[in-house]
A and B are shown apart, each in its own frame.
Chain A
Amino acid sequence: MSVDLAVPVTTGLGVRTRGLVHIYRAEGHDVAALSGVDLTVAPGEIVGLLGPSGAGKSTLLTLFGGLMRPSAGRVTVGDHELSTMTEAELDRFRAADVGLILQGAARNLLPYLTARQNVEFAQRSARKAGRSVPGPGEVLELVGLSDSVSAPLDSLPPGKLQLAALAVALASRPGLLLGDEPTSQLHHTSRDVVLDALHRVNEEWGTTIVVVTHDPEVAARLPRTVTIRDGRVGGEGRQGEEYAVVSADGSLPLPAVVVEDLPPGSLVRVHRVDDVWTIIPQGGGQE
């Protein structure tokens, strides 16, 4: 896989949130989608956001993409503090620095254009902002769609359609790629093709990738996963290991399996013996 040298190789953009809160205002009541998320994604990292429906994963993703402003807290992408940026700055940010894949491939594409034309369409704002962008052919080749650049979209199978959506999100060669369930609605083969493409993008362009997924098999292929639960970071997985994450205020969300045994309001003691921390329920077994 070759890279156009005319386009500067960008390093991925890191993402950092502090006390991130987002509240949806509905008729008559408010719903807190995020209730203080502290999360750091390193530049060039691939992170999967996991969690049950309604946990706040997609909300977190749209905040990363600058599609919404947080109700409270900070979101920083690279050097951009999104919560303080103006509308025009956010437009430029979306044009050049971030690519977002919406859930459902078709939603990412203009149906009356070919894959190549869609990529060109997505590059216009970046070009206008003075950003050097790769050629559409290069982008499409990177994601593995060089054989269908001019085919009508409605003739493409779902897997290729998802690759086209990926290409569009990468059109401006962003430092951060966000994907909302980019492999949903795909069968295994197509799913693997898309995941391969994501890894290739990460490897070749150094793009930071954050994807939302419900699929354990997809999560298993990601080096780092972050589980969002009730609007907070509920845990992390690294190389197959699950961890609880201590938050900025010192709270520690317990893994779901533990919560089943320790319902809310349970009293526990935390003991340290050497390097081992132990949680002992009230009235539980003595050391």
Chain B
Amino acid sequence: MWAAIRYRRAQALVLVLLSALIATCAVFAPLYERALEQSLLRSAVDEAPVADTALIVRGGRSEADPEMTPGSLKGSVPGGLLRIYGPPIEEMTDQINVVPRDGLKPSPVRLVARPDACEHLTLTTGTCPRDAGQVLVAAKDMAAWKWKVGQKFEVGIPGISEGKFDASMNPFQVLTVTGAYTVNPDPDYWLRTQLDGKSGIPITVGLEQVPGVDDFVTPVDTFDVRWVQAASRLTYPLRTDLISVDNLDDMAAIAQSPPGYSQPSAVIESQLPRTIAAVKGGQDKLRVIVPLLMAQLALLAAAILILVAQAAVEQRRPESALARLRGRSREGAGRLVMGELGLTVLLGLPLGVALAIGLSEVVRRSLLAGGVPFEFPWLAVVGLVVAALVCLLAIGVAVRPLQRQSISALLRRVAPQRRGGLGVVDILAVALAIFGLIGLATGTLKGPLALLTPTLIALAGGLLASRVAVPVARAVGRTQLGRGKVGPALTAYGLERRPALRKVVTVVSIAVALTVFATNALVVANRNWEARAQLEVGAPLVLDTDGTNPKVLTQALRAYDPDGAKATPVAVIRQAAADSTSTMAVIRTQFEKVAYTPGGQELRLDSLQVPDVRTVNLQGTTLTGRIAWNLAGGQGAGDGPAQVPGLPPGSSPGTPPAAGAGAAPIRVRISVTSPKGERLTRDLFTVPDLGTGSAKINAKVLCPDGCRFDGLLFTPDQFTTKLSGSVTISGLALDGQRLDVADVNRWNPFVPVASGTTDSLKLTVPKADTMQFDLVSSGVTVGLSYADVPAVVPGLLAGRVPAGGTAESFQVAGLNGVPIQVRAAQRPDALPVVGDRGVMVDMGTLERLGGTLSTSGKLSVWVKDPARAGEVRAALAKGGISVVDTRTYAEAKDRLDTSGSGWGMRLAAFTGVMALLLAALVVVVMTVTGWRTVARDLAALHMAGVGLGTLRRAIIREQVIVVVVGAVVGAVCGAVAAQVAMPLLPLFDDPATPVPALQIQPSILAVVGAALASVVVLVAVAVLCAMASGRRIALRRVREAL
């Protein structure tokens, strides 16, 4: 048997390589999956801050437990939980106020007690506090305030000093400084506790700013029973060595076990179940992606092995015939071949295992998170056994027809061929491919067949192409021969006669289809990850600031970047409900220069354009002017409080006049917005009666800090059911200075409260500085708003219309949280940062409405070039704005790249390369197994007078045509598979509906590129092989015996 293997050593080597590649695929898949699972886990657990995975127990003192300390919380934790956590870190804190220097206002300071705190601090002076009432202060504060060791601070004890508790207790505590510290960076000890970093930074307390002071460190004893608001915390760090991929469920179950603690005031928190859930989410995706991609490769490998085995078995027909001739049974002769080829392919398995381990080690050491151990999971053993069985089965399948042949058939040089028609395998492959195609297209197919469908499509395509090739080649051969073109005719007849070439068509089809599918999958996945990362972050760099005033931020940026080409401010105001519509305010012209447009969707930012009407600021005390009226109407039962059509949302019509006889028919009011963004109304004049009349206006504006002129309101008294006529206002001035508002174009059109009403309000300007309002009211307030802000703000709405609104008018939160009325000028699928629950509006418009950001809002700076982060920070600092958080597109993309789905999809690259490698190997195998026959046949033709050049070119043409036909069929099948099977691949670990919506249409560039690359590689291999065969054409081959 060894002699037989050695005799065809090149073929044996190829078979060994082939089986090695199969074993590599079979073993690498579970190794890779396992390593990725470990990597995901280690990333989530090891690399996460200790605080993220720790078990935290919090408790506060109460009347029921006035002496609570961290130690007393220990009894709260169930014993089962403690199995997976290490010894706790104890902490006790309270908030005090310290006057850093006489004459200054007190600054808030946190008093922190931690056992062994001094071991994690560097004492720049003094000693560690040992007794109650002793404190360490930050070295920065010590220097800044010129504090000394021994300095005393008398501080009020929170709660008790406010007289809420026992009056007999001393409400003050004297704290004595024993030294100063700087913090040793030790995240495993300090967790999220940040002692320093506040010194010198102004803090807003109430309406004033006070200097920040770093934490005071004190012994636990300081917190005696008088410290009624002292908070205790125990942090149990997770014993990460105990958590592994294998016990995730157990760990999650332990971490989620019912608290069962005895102290109701204690709260146990752990992010571990969520962390584990995220890891398992990634694992679930891996368990879909890896089999999906590897199944294609496995099917390709098995198909190739069968084809190669058939070719190898074909070569052994004479040996089998001899064995039969010398008395061996059919089975015995089959075993002879099976033994030789079986042993050969089994020899490749250890090599394959070594390759798989090497490959996974490369991945583990160079790509994955640190701490991923080397493991050989049992599934890898199963993979190896399966690979061995598949290899042997493939040989068995190939040998079986040999056993069925009679000795006389075996003795023939060429095996009898079944001509024409489709075989069972062809029909089965086509049927399964069609079934799978329909199933995937309709979304009804799941399970293994769904996973195999992409390759089945290619298999069916390849088989059909190879069948069609025979009659086509025959016809071409006949035609070319008729024309006297020997070379092309030889090529055509070669294609017709040699089954091995047709098998190459099938294999190349599958391989190219798989390469195209895998490449497309990777490109499409990357496209979606980019879109998601762009959507999540919004710009290459986003700096979240502590600023609350968009104007201040905008001014700070304008000094740095006047054009807004490098950085732009963005405000995001979220509402409490998770699925509510957030508001995103942008500066249109800058936003389009700096921000991403995720998913390539075009945002119609022009529609957000701020009106070209100057804002009228009311900086004064008294409004004067003249008013004339001509009103008619009637009274009836009141309809309740008047509504305010025509005014921007958030308008408050104010309190209607008291009911009763003799009430004025209409009040004329001015609407203003305060610098804080509140919309207020001020009475301008009250018309005393119906009919005609005129009077002077003399009204207080009551805006000490100035107001923005927002509009005019006409409010009938509550008994009025019908009012019509006109009100003319002229010479309107503030503190004697004329208000330039008498221009029809500077007012928004009247918007009725509801369609179908008869209410109306029309402004005309009969002469300069005179406004005539013709009104019809059914008893409701009618008004017109000044057009520096649209009556209904245009916005780009992503997602559903907020409840209670329509696309033409709905409410969302403005800058200060006060609702504004918005209409959807465009309905994009998603918007950066706010996703599919947000509306984008113009920041300038919101600024005109005034106000600072609500607590639910965030003011950020979006930066085009992350390298300019320092410059932007500096510019912001000049404006007194600090950056509190930084987010980058690169980080977001990296998170997606290293997610379970991301790592899983990387396998597509491996699959594509392996498929190409396998196909190239098949081309080589077919050459190695068939060159003797080919060379002998062509040598005979050479003897008959055909030139060597013609013969060699004919062989090259044969190979090239086979590869190109296979590649074209494969590219088409791969594109079809990419179209129908991409939805099977989960691109994100998060099971929620992806935002932006997945864009899984095939990438033409990827498909064509992969197909061309495949053709280039395979054609090159084929040409080299053909040239090698061609060199062996020699007359001696005609008489070749052995």
Contact = CB atoms under 8 A, between A and B. Distances in A.
Interface of A: 27, 62, 65, 67-68, 87-88, 91-96, 100, 102, 104-113, 117, 121-122, 124-126, 129, 153-154, 158, 161, 168, 171-172
Contacts of B318: 107
A104 B413 CA distance: 12
A112 B326 contact: no
Contacts of A91: 324, 327-329, 332
Contact of B4 (A67, A68, A110, A124): A110
Given A68-B406, A102-B411, A104-B1041, A95 B327 contact: yes
B408 interface: yes
A112 B12 CA distance: 14
B319 interface: yes
Given A68-B407, A110-B322, A124-B328, 17 more contacts: A27-B419, A67-B407, A68-B408, A91-B327, A91-B332, A94-B326, A95-B326, A95-B327, A95-B328, A102-B325, A105-B1041, A107-B322, A111-B7, A113-B3, A121-B322, A124-B326, A125-B332
A154 B1040 CA distance: 11
B1042 interface: yes
B6 interface: yes
A195 to B, nearest CB: 21
* List of 7 A-B pairs having minimum Cβ-Cβ separation, nearest first: A95-B327, A125-B327, A112-B7, A106-B1041, A122-B326, A112-B3, A94-B327
A171 B3 contact: no
A106 B1042 contact: yes
B4 A172 contact: no
A105 B318 CA distance: 12
Nearest to B4: A112
Interface in B317-344: 318-319, 322-330, 332
27 contacts: A27-B419, A67-B325, A67-B406, A67-B407, A93-B327, A94-B324, A94-B326, A94-B327, A95-B328, A100-B325, A106-B1042, A107-B318, A107-B411, A109-B322, A109-B1042, A110-B322, A112-B6, A117-B3, A121-B322, A121-B323, A121-B326, A124-B328, A125-B328, A126-B327, A153-B1042, A154-B1042, A171-B326
A172 B322 CA distance: 14
B583 to A, nearest CB: 81
Contacts of B328: 91, 95, 124-125
Which size bracket describes the interface of B in this complex?
20 to 34
Given A105-B1041, A111-B1042, A117-B3, A129 B327 contact: yes
Contacts of A122: 322, 326
Interface in B1-38: 3-4, 6-7
A24 B748 CA distance: 102
Interface of B: 3-4, 6-7, 318-319, 322-330, 332, 406-408, 411, 419, 1041-1042
A129 B4 CA distance: 25
A227 B6 CA distance: 45
Contacts of A87: 329-330
Of the listed residues B6, B319, B326, B408, the one surrounded by the most CB atoms of chain A closer than 10 A to its CB is B326
B326 A125 contact: yes
A100 B325 CA distance: 7
A223 B1042 CA distance: 34
Of the listed residues A91, A92, A158, the one surrounded by the most CB atoms of chain B closer than 10 A to its CB is A91
Of the listed residues B4, B408, B419, B1041, the one surrounded by the most CB atoms of chain A closer than 10 A to its CB is B1041
Contacts of A168: 326
A24 to B, nearest CB: 10
A67 B1041 contact: no
Nearest to A69: B406
A35 to B, nearest CB: 19
Contacts of A67: 325, 406-408, 411
A129 B327 CA distance: 9
Nearest to A129: B327
B418 to A, nearest CB: 11
A48 to B, nearest CB: 21
A96 B327 contact: yes
Contacts of B325: 65, 67, 94, 100, 102
A194 B7 CA distance: 28
A91 B326 CA distance: 8
B645 to A, nearest CB: 93
A38 B488 CA distance: 52
A106 B6 CA distance: 18
B835 to A, nearest CB: 69
Contacts of B330: 87
Contacts of B326: 94-95, 121-122, 124-126, 168, 171-172
A168 B411 CA distance: 17
Contact of B322 (A68, A93, A108): A108
Contacts of A107: 318, 322, 411
Contacts of A111: 7, 1042
Given A113-B3, A125-B326, A171-B326, A161 B1041 contact: yes
A92 B407 CA distance: 14
Nearest to A155: B1042
B311 to A, nearest CB: 18
A126 B1041 CA distance: 27
B1036 to A, nearest CB: 13
A120 B947 CA distance: 45
Contacts of B406: 67-68
B329 to A, nearest CB: 5
A110 B340 CA distance: 13
Contacts of B6: 112
Of the listed residues A93, A109, A117, A126, the one surrounded by the most CB atoms of chain B closer than 10 A to its CB is A109
Nearest to A101: B325
A62 B7 contact: no
Nearest to A92: B327
A110 B325 CA distance: 12
Of the listed residues B7, B325, B329, the one surrounded by the most CB atoms of chain A closer than 10 A to its CB is B325
Contacts of A88: 329
B817 to A, nearest CB: 89
Nearest to B331: A91
A151 B501 CA distance: 37
A106 to B, nearest CB: 4
A212 B328 CA distance: 25
A154 B1036 CA distance: 14
Contacts of B4: 110, 112
Nearest to B326: A122
Nearest to B318: A107
A106 B1039 CA distance: 11
A268 B330 CA distance: 53
A172 B6 CA distance: 27
Contacts of A94: 324-327
Contacts of B3: 112-113, 117
B320 to A, nearest CB: 11
Contacts of B408: 62, 67-68
A171 B325 CA distance: 12
A105 B1042 CA distance: 10
Nearest to A107: B318
A22 B407 CA distance: 16
Contacts of B7: 111-112
B820 to A, nearest CB: 87
Contacts of B419: 27
A67 B1042 CA distance: 24
A153 B3 CA distance: 13
A88 B326 CA distance: 13
B82 to A, nearest CB: 70
A100 B7 CA distance: 25
Contacts of B323: 121
A158 B7 CA distance: 20
A52 to B, nearest CB: 21
Nearest to A66: B407
A280 B838 CA distance: 119
B132 to A, nearest CB: 95
A95 B325 CA distance: 8
A67 B411 CA distance: 10
